[in-house]
Chain A
Amino acid sequence: MIPKRRYALAGPALRCAGAFSFAACLLFLLGGLHGCSRDGGSNAEPEPVGGPPLVRRLTESQYRATVADIFSPDIGIPARFERGFRVEGLLAIGTSESGMSPFSIEQYDSAALSVARAALAADQRDRILPCAPPSESEFDQSCTRSFVTKYGLLLWRRPLTDEETDNFVELAQQGFSQLGNYYEGLQYALVGLMVAPEFLLRIERTEPDPDHPGLERLDAWSRATRLSYFLTNSTPDAELLRAAGAGELDTADGLARQADRLIASAEFPAAVRAFFEDMLQFDQFGDLAKDPVIYPAFNSTVAADAREQTLLTITEQLIDRNGDYRDLFTTRDTWLTRALGIVYRVPVATRHGWEKARFAQDSEYAGIQTNIAFLALHSHPGRSSPTLRGKAIREVFLCQEVPPPPPNVNFSVVQNPSSTNMPTARDRLEAHRTEPSCAGCHRIMDPLGLTLENFDGLGTFRTRENAAVIDPSGSLDGVDFNTARGLAQALHDHPETPRCLVEKMYRFAVGRDTVWDERSYMDYLTNAFAVDRYRVPQLMRTIALSRNFYAISPPASPDDSYQHAGIQPAEGDTYE
């Protein structure tokens, strides 16, 4: 059993048991657990707090990007990666908590083998090897050593020790003597490097902090690794490794030079995508199924395109236009394929591939929360779900945790969905409001979700359900609206919207939940985000250059607040 890392400060939890009044709930929501706002004029980073050094598992996309960067983007990786582990709303946090099952090692091993074979295949080896061995039937000690030194550094994100280098050279030699071929021996040295924990796990290392005697700080290689995976979702490149080795990351200027270089690089959009894929829970696409009779337009192309549509919208708005994050909730600009056009009922001229599009001014499609990727993911296979959608808006975009339903609820008051007495979801959910044990939480979720009822379980606009006209009126924390456009504006204007993005981005960057003492740092980031007019690349830069991002907290005492095993509501849901 792994004791869980839990922190005192989670996102504001929603208290919505029946005993709480809606007003009390609302106050709690808006009050949140935040520290005092600082005044925007003197926004300086507070003293760093930091956290423990972590051992983070590479995600599937990081693994793939890393291999592509080190060897070649053309190398296929035919492995089936085990699903990520979501903690506190993010897979990124799960990477520092999850273990490794025999299945995943089996998959990593076969991935390593196929990468090693491809990288050292006859048509690749000249490019990959730093030297030219005389013949494949001879063992070249010095070439092997330079190969292991080069790829050891790239794969392990730090230089190998002499002893480690010796070990891998010996493995190659042993392989050569058994297989009779130099490159085959080398292959197995590479497999060894790639199934080692130092490759699969980002094992952070510390060193004494010269500025704060008695405290530790991340060593340069670990700093480079944090920076690189945060800003490129991939491994440190040669230049970053050089800078780390030269001690340049220890200075503010050197760090800024590298961060700016990475933000300007072609890999930066991949990091933004990785963050939003995690935040928007796109791993759930793996299980997405729709009933073919009810939603004949749905197929795997629609699913893949829907996911890509939202990501394209995000990267265009945030990177290409360097636009305001909050406009993601109101934007009509989007990207479409023919398959998506069928669901949105919008003509798409381009036969194959993507075209830029804009939803009509009077259309209810506005913002990424009206994309298929959001609407279909938070629905049932055969119908929409105001509750799931409302819950997702609260948790994904506002960082407000909705408690799980009480186990012993009498659901019998909720009737059959095809019942003629209760044709619409609103009619059916009305029953929840009369049941005290349900009412508290459903009041938090349903008014948001009901406004999205004009979109069916796949995302197609509709005005009626079971022949009855849908009433899409709803509200969000005191703001009333009666269209999805109204919800879009309310989300755009909600004070928690930017703060939530900041908190998730920081947790994503460090791979752990925030601690109580970091609340003034969170205020600092949130203020900086506002000053920078809600530009996400700038926020990522602020994080990457902050001292807190690299800070290591003093060694945990046994009763340290983040060492205790807390009880948290788990991921997943059983709301309908």
Chain B
Amino acid sequence: MSKMPRRTFLRGAMRGAAVGVALPLLNCFLNENGRAFAATGQRLPLRFGTWIWGCGHIPELWIPTTTGSDYVMPPHLAPLEPYRGQLAIFSGFDVKLDGVANKPHITGCLGLRSGIPVPDENVKAPTLDVLIGDAIGTGTRFRSIEVSTSGIQRSYSYRTAGSPNPSEVSPLALYQRIFGDGFQDPNSMEFHPDPQYMVHHSVLSAVQEERKRLMATVGAEDRHRLDEYFTSIRQLEQQLALQLQPPAPVQDFVMPDAPPQVTLDSEMENVMVIHKLMAGLLARALQCNQTRVFNVLLSDTTSNLRRRGTTTTHHTLTHEEPVDPALGHQREVAWFAQQSMIAWREFLDELASIPEGDGTLLDNCLVLAHSDCSIAKAHAVEGIPVMVAGASGRIRTGYHMAGNADPISRLGLTIQQAMGLQVEKWGTMSMETNRTVTELLG
């Protein structure tokens, strides 16, 4: 380190007095129509998130009987009536297995998210939230935030096999991670960069100086892993760089209160409470630019949800509960499926409750909601239920579309395109597609 290291650009700034660094700032005030910052003309950022619920749906209670915009809300989608215009419903899109063994509750979920069905958790490509995060999530404090609301530390967000982006399971831990140490109130009138951050930043820069030398000492497989390590270090360096800039003011931002201690388990009533708390925190984090990408796991794909005092989980019920002859479906399973849609509605409520520009945060979020299978009893990956919400004016919503057994990767492709990624085709083998869902892009 006899020469000045390329990356240690803050070197020489003395004891925090001088912050003479060019900062790509989002300056400050919205223009008259509220869709862009006046100073820069930059539009409000479009965020991306996924929202997963486990064990699919009961088709006759979930799939609208007609396509297009005039469909009648089926019973399980009824809670979403207020969002009809901001919601696109997709039925009948398939994960194509091409002979790959269907690992129940995994293959469908990861096939949908990565475009490649796998017989296990070893994804063969990044999940689409990571692809989108690479494009839009690099300028924020967190590249993405993952939460799981049923007490189980699972995640279906992968850059590579073997290291999922782990989920926060506790609202309090989530709060502390985002709004605790290192959080800067965007509307604070004063800004004093902490010189500790500068030094810390140079440390991370110095670590990266060793990248090339280290890469040369390990084999090809481990180079991929080291590469992932350095990508993560870069992200952290980015976080620290942001600490040295005054945060962009955020209209209507209110610092959230610390959430109460709650029981972290998979009992449905508790899950609804945890989910609502975490959704609220996530919405605030998005509002004040802490992240632009998120993944919410309401219940594990092998749904661990249960009712207090009962011996069986949602997942077990899908296999074991007899069909109620009067109803024509499994009564208890239907209850969990319905609760899941109520939770989805509550998630949208949290995004929509935050004003942003002349609309709400939901208008500036594209949220992909999906499950892991269609009919859980048979682990069917044909017709996995999918919904896309939000992003007003940037995508077209307000209809039900039937996929007619098209590969579900069409949706993943289109969503990446809607998020501004230059991608023409996505997926492999039967899942490979270049067919944009033009109805969604509008």
Contacts and interface: CB of A to CB of B under 8 A. Distances in A.
Interface string B303-329: 010101111110110111111000000
Given A109-B236, A382-B306, A383-B312, A291 B163 contact: no
A416 B311 CA distance: 10
Contacts of A177: 14
B267 interface: yes
A424 to B, nearest CB: 13
A1 B130 CA distance: 13
A196 interface: yes
Contacts of A568: 120
Interface stretch (A323-331, A348-356, A406-414): A406-414
A572 B121 contact: yes
A464 to B, nearest CB: 15
A104 interface: yes
A103 B222 CA distance: 20
A55 B226 contact: yes
A94 B202 CA distance: 31
Interface string A152-174: 00000000000100110011001
Interface in B62-78: none
Interface stretch (A77-85, A240-248, A252-260, A392-400): A77-85
Interface in A523-576: 556, 567-572, 574, 576
Contact of B166 (A54, A101, A178): A101
Interface stretch (A124-132, A141-149, A197-205): A197-205
Q: Is the interface of A mostly helix, strand, loop or mixed?
A: loop
A192 B236 CA distance: 13
B16 A178 contact: yes
A180 interface: yes
Interface string A182-226: 001100110110011110110101000000000000000000000
Nearest to A185: B199
A286 interface: yes
User: Most B CB atoms within 10 A — which of A200, A286, A380, A418?
Assistant: A380
Of A106, A163, A195, A381, chain B has the most CB atoms within 10 Å of the CB of: A381
A291 B229 contact: no
B349 interface: no
B228 A570 contact: no
Contact of A570 (B103, B199, B207, B217): B103
Interface residues of B, number: 91
Given A171-B202, A292-B308, A101 B163 contact: yes
B332 to A, nearest CB: 9
Interface stretch (B151-159, B184-192, B281-289, B399-407): B151-159
B322 A417 contact: no
Contact of A5 (B221, B226, B379): B221
Given A192-B206, A289-B151, A380 B311 contact: yes
A2 B309 contact: no
A233 to B, nearest CB: 22
Interface in B95-137: 101-107, 119-125
Given A101-B163, A113-B200, 12 more contacts: A53-B218, A97-B162, A101-B159, A105-B229, A174-B199, A178-B13, A196-B210, A203-B217, A382-B313, A404-B104, A408-B379, A569-B120
30 contacts: A2-B225, A3-B220, A85-B162, A97-B162, A100-B163, A106-B239, A109-B204, A167-B209, A171-B203, A175-B202, A178-B15, A184-B196, A188-B199, A188-B200, A192-B203, A195-B233, A196-B210, A197-B229, A291-B309, A381-B265, A381-B266, A381-B306, A382-B309, A404-B103, A407-B103, A412-B323, A416-B322, A417-B311, A567-B119, A569-B103
